[in-house]
Structure 1
Amino acid sequence: MHTANSPWRKGLRLALSEQNALLENSFHPCHNPAMGKARVVVDARMVGATGHGIGNYVEDLAASLKDKDLPYELVFLLSPECPKASLLRSYEHHISPIKFLSAKEIFLLAPEIKKLKPDLFHSPSFSSLARYDFPVAFTVHDLNHLYFAGNFHKLYYRYLLLPALKKAKAIASVSETAAAEIDLWLRNYGEKRQVRVVPNSIRRLTGASAEATLTTHGLSRKGYFLCLSNPKPHKNTDFLIRAYSQARQENPNLSPLVLSTPGPSGGGILHLGSLPGSAIPALLSEARAFFFPSLYEGFGRPPVEAALAGTLPFAADIPVLREALAGVKEARFLNPTDLDQWVAAFRELGLKSPLPISSASQDWILRSYSLEQVALKADAFYREALAL
């Protein structure tokens, strides 16, 4: 909770006054080709030792455009926690002491960015600055804070993010569903903008051996259900636990439910907490089935990765997950507020094996979310923002 005198609220009040002082013509002019390659500074401070959805997205961008002949160059702003082996460190990069989504970034990040002489700054999230005089582009993954967060986040979106998007040189999101939602939100404030889709890349994951990973957590092949999520309310994991617990009362021999959330384990439920990326591939491929009951997503990466690993996903029946899994004919969709449907799914899996994911469905994922697709759309996004 943010109190009236917390640093966040004090910072927001200052940000609002400074944001109102910005002039429409305060940006540098568009890149002049005669000056050589344009410099696109990308915020990658969220990339650390543990997985981060937006961090994965930024690393996909970097991988998709690596070694391509482009009229611009990517420069990454990293945190000290960025792994030494990260592809981002093979680009020109600069280490920032300012933490991602901290109050300090609202006021102190812009001068740091300006030192890098950007022709464009790409914020791949809702992270916004109070005052800046360089062109900016955004990737807004979703609007979940407007629905599932407190008043502070609503004020942040209204008085920091919204004005920044109005001035942005280009705006992107990660799915057609999310792009349409952001477009509608902007239109509600009188702003008509094209919101491009620059998707995530989904590819076959590699990591620690399955045997070592399963042994570490006391699991067996195809002997557990899996949910990779976080404990935020819209992820709906408490609902999933209730459904599983009810099904297990009927069938005490039901395979355990493994979650990547913190909490006490027991009653067939195993909370593993935050997991290293190296453990994810084995956990996905060896699960009996994958469950994703989220009420809201901008894309919904985990069930797509599960399907590519050959594991049947049971996903919430919401438009964005229908879109993300459109070519996976085996995917099962359940109402995320109907407990009986999820109990029935666990009950069914206790009696028979789930369908395997066909090679056709896996090929669709690889085609639809390839690095080549990301490169094409990311390049168009940057060219629009740079007026190239």
Structure 2
Amino acid sequence: MKIVLSVDPVRFPLTGIGRYTYELAQRLATSPDITDLRYMASHRFLPSLPSPSDVSGKAHWLRRVAQKLPMAIETYRHLMPLLKSRALREHSDFLYHSPNYYLPRFEGRRVATFHDLSPFTWSQCHTPEIGRFLRKELTHTVQRADRLITDSEFTRQELATYFNWPLERIDAVPLASSAEFHPRDEAELAPVLARHGLQPGSYSLFVGTIEPRKNIDTLLDAYVRLPLPLRRRFPLVLTGYHGWQSEAIHQRLESAGREGWARYLGFVPGHELPLLFAGARLFTFPSLYEGFGLPVLEAMSSGVPVVCSTTSSLPEVAGEAALMCEALDVDALTALIAKGLEDQTWRHAAIDAGLTRAARFSWERCALGTLETYRRTMAQS
């Protein structure tokens, strides 16, 4: 097979989609089934797979500015697909895979990965301009694709239902946590955690973009109901990129910080994140909607007990290893967090169960599933 893989998401900040793209690209590069693998970023072919960066550059700053300008978004929406299509003209004998939704016009075979349907089902979690852009482009993707990939069975079913798309032409291919996420001893953790004023086993952790969809308001409501000594002994630590409509959340975090029971670390560099996970006493993730929920898997791989919501795809990831409740049930979430922090019997069992559960997911299996999608696409009439 001859494959063109879009690697646009491999850039700062490296989100879950960027990690997926990077890990998948590395495995595809070693597959004997692929005779020619080419990486495409923007409308150019790259000589090699780019490395993830922990440092924002001029391009990141320009994107942030452009995202606030409706005219810039509309210009990009029209111009970039044309440039991509022109660059792909001589590659019609390749299969083009977009791991980040978008498909340009292309004469060859076309596969796209849909990570979730939030632009359609949770449009309030995007700026109006970005939301309109995503809905237009993702609708084009559904019209152009030969086959689609989702991260979970939940999203597979949701995608087929929402767009009335043939379910048999959608493949659920689960993600995985990277090898950097594993249990670590205190001596290894101490230097990095000390830079953030933390000690191993001394905090609860949330990792994700600071935005309404992550349900951080409910997490704060639940945490504040814990006894103050328990909150201060195990403060809630949050890290993630600034997202849409996060100003009120940050105000609450600043107030909680002054009271000594919560801290926002900002966007933590990628090489530090696995240690931040491994050093946590508990991982908390009451998200309202996830296409997969990679942070839950990363926590379990790190040997950290998990409390999360029962929404969307999260039960597929957590299985029986986590404590779960309805996303907006504040009282239940408070009780589960308290149990996760204090119940040593459950904690030991949850760590073992989480490691066993996480071992069922791997990037190698993700790559094999993706290759099977390629084969099915090439075999379609």
Coarse TM-score class (shorter-chain normalised): 0.7 to 0.9
* Cα-to-partner distance string for 1:172-197 (whole Å, 9 max, x where unaligned): 1111111111111121xx76652101
User: 1:304 aligned to 2:297?
Assistant: yes
User: 1:341 aligned to 2:332?
Assistant: yes
Aligned-residue offset at 1:88: 5.0
User: 1:272 aligned to 2:286?
Assistant: no
Alignment partner, residue 76 of structure 1? 39
| Higher mean C-alpha displacement, 331-340 vs 370-379 | 370-379
Alignment partner, residue 175 of structure 1? 152
User: 1:200 aligned to 2:191?
Assistant: no
Alignment partner, residue 56 of structure 2? none
* Cα-to-partner distance string for 1:312-359 (whole Å, 9 max, x where unaligned): 000111241111112xx3310021101111222333455444613454
Change (3 A) 1:192 1:325: closer
CA distance in 2, matches of 1:212, 1:115: 51
- Choose which of 105, 114, 117 in structure 2 pairs with 1:143: 117
Change (3 A) 1:153 1:243: same
Alignment partner, residue 10 of structure 1? none
Give secondary structure in 1 for the equivalent of 2:111: strand
Q: Which structure has the bigger radius of gyration?
A: 1
Change (3 A) 1:364 1:341: closer
Alignment partner, residue 193 of structure 2? 214
Alignment of 1:23-172 (within 5 A): 38-78=1-41, 102-103=76-77, 104-114=79-89, 119-129=94-104, 131-149=105-123, 155-156=132-133, 159-172=136-149
- Choose which of 223, 236, 239 in structure 2 pairs with 1:244: 223
Aligned amino acid, residue 344 of structure 1: A
Assess if the C-alpha contact under 8 Å between 1:248 and 1:254 holds in 2. no
Give secondary structure in 2 for the equivalent of 1:77: strand
Give secondary structure in 1 for the equivalent of 2:272: helix
Aligned amino acid, residue 48 of structure 1: R
User: What is the TM-score normalised by the length of structure 1?
Assistant: 0.76
CA distance in 2, matches of 1:204, 1:158: 34
Change (3 A) 1:110 1:331: same
Alignment partner, residue 314 of structure 1? 307
Alignment partner, residue 383 of structure 1? 375
Aligned-residue offset at 1:61: 1.4
Aligned-residue offset at 1:49: 4.2
* Cα-to-partner distance string for 1:194-235 (whole Å, 9 max, x where unaligned): 210122122431699411211100001100000001112111
| Higher mean C-alpha displacement, 170-179 vs 249-258 | 249-258
Aligned amino acid, residue 332 of structure 2: Q
CA distance in 1, matches of 2:147, 2:341: 49
Change (3 A) 1:312 1:362: same
Aligned-residue offset at 1:152: 5.1
Higher helix share: 2
In the alignment, structure 1 segments of 5+ residues that lack a partner are: 1-37, 90-96
Aligned-residue offset at 1:375: 2.6
In the alignment, structure 2 segments of 5+ residues that lack a partner are: 52-58, 68-72, 243-249
Give secondary structure in 2 for the equivalent of 1:41: strand
Give secondary structure in 2 for the equivalent of 1:226: strand
Alignment partner, residue 235 of structure 1? 214
Give secondary structure in 2 for the equivalent of 1:239: helix
Aligned amino acid, residue 161 of structure 1: L
Change (3 A) 1:79 1:138: closer
CA distance in 1, matches of 2:116, 2:231: 39
Assess if the C-alpha contact under 8 Å between 2:9 and 2:21 holds in 1. no
CA distance in 1, matches of 2:361, 2:120: 28
Give secondary structure in 1 for the equivalent of 2:375: helix
Give secondary structure in 2 for the equivalent of 1:218: coil
CA distance in 1, matches of 2:211, 2:82: 27
Change (3 A) 1:147 1:248: farther
Assess if the C-alpha contact under 8 Å between 2:181 and 2:301 holds in 1. no
Aligned amino acid, residue 64 of structure 1: R
Change (3 A) 1:387 1:377: same
Alignment partner, residue 54 of structure 2? none
Change (3 A) 1:196 1:70: same
Assess if the C-alpha contact under 8 Å between 1:316 and 1:333 holds in 2. yes
CA distance in 2, matches of 1:349, 1:206: 20
Change (3 A) 1:266 1:387: farther
Alignment partner, residue 70 of structure 2? none
CA distance in 1, matches of 2:181, 2:355: 16
* Cα-to-partner distance string for 1:140-180 (whole Å, 9 max, x where unaligned): 11101112225656654654323432331211111111111
CA distance in 2, matches of 1:75, 1:292: 36
Give secondary structure in 2 for the equivalent of 1:346: helix
CA distance in 2, matches of 1:171, 1:385: 9
* Cα-to-partner distance string for 1:40-63 (whole Å, 9 max, x where unaligned): 111111112432111111122123
Aligned-residue offset at 1:260: 0.7
Give secondary structure in 2 for the equivalent of 1:51: coil
Give secondary structure in 1 for the equivalent of 2:334: helix
Identity %, equivalent residues: 25
